[in-house]
Amino acid sequence: MNGSDTRDVLVVGGGVAGLTAATFTARAGLDTLVLNDGESILRRNAHLENVPGFPAGVNPRLFADLLAEQAERNGVTIAQSWVVRVAPTESGFDVTTAADGTVRARYVVAASWSDASYLPGDVTTRAAGSKTFVDEDGVGRTSVAGLYATGRLTERYHQAVVAAGHGAAVGITLLHDSGTPFYNDWVTPVGYFTDRGREVPPGCEEIDAAEQAHREAESRAVMRERFAEAHPQRQRTHPSLVDDRGRVDTSWDVTED
């Protein structure tokens, strides 16, 4: 990254909320970059429950991988980098990283853990012990135009499904505010709109039976592959509990029954 790197949207944080917001903005055609450092707290879970579509739960590290893969398939660029400063400019924001790189972005979505120290000083925040939360209007708009916030940074409930839903809402809010044509992100059968004399709305597609079969087959193949084996990443716990890497002992390694 350097001073010439310019994006439509820059998302700070590659957890559930950040990746979901990024997927929506990228799918609508905005050049979207996610800067992430460290790992999402999601990966510390032993097993992820209460996520729609997974009746028996799902490995949280696999779920995190799937979120990143989904974002990248929709055009999101994900890079490892620690953001130290977000500074408003006349045309958006300059985002500075710990490696002294700068990315210019029209819009920024703050989706990090509850630390707002890198954000502009005029962002409205509230302190809660060691944490700082960012005030927003319910759909992500902060007190600084063009700067949005989502997920745990906004004191949303500490649940993956809540973070995903808020990230989606913030992504859609950003699209509306930017004037990017967007409807409901539907993929429909041929004729759903056009046979009623309507144009296909922005963000939607009409696909024929052959394309539908292709996408369904690809979906099944991807899920079979991703769930065929136990996830290789070892279980982690809170960094203060075990050692300087925050890893538990080998008895926590996932093995087949």
> What is the pLDDT averaged over residues 74-82?
95
Dump pLDDT digits (tens) for 156-204: 998 999 999 999 999 999 999 999 998 888 899 999 999 999 999 998 9
pLDDT digits (tens, 9 = 90+) for 120-152: 999 999 999 889 999 999 999 999 999 999 999
Alpha carbons 171 and 148: distance in angstroms, whole number: 9
Dihedrals phi, psi of 68, to nearest 5 degrees: -65, -40
- Tell me the C-alpha distance between 137 and 117, whole Å: 20
Q: How far is 19 from 163, CA to CA, in rounded Å? A: 10
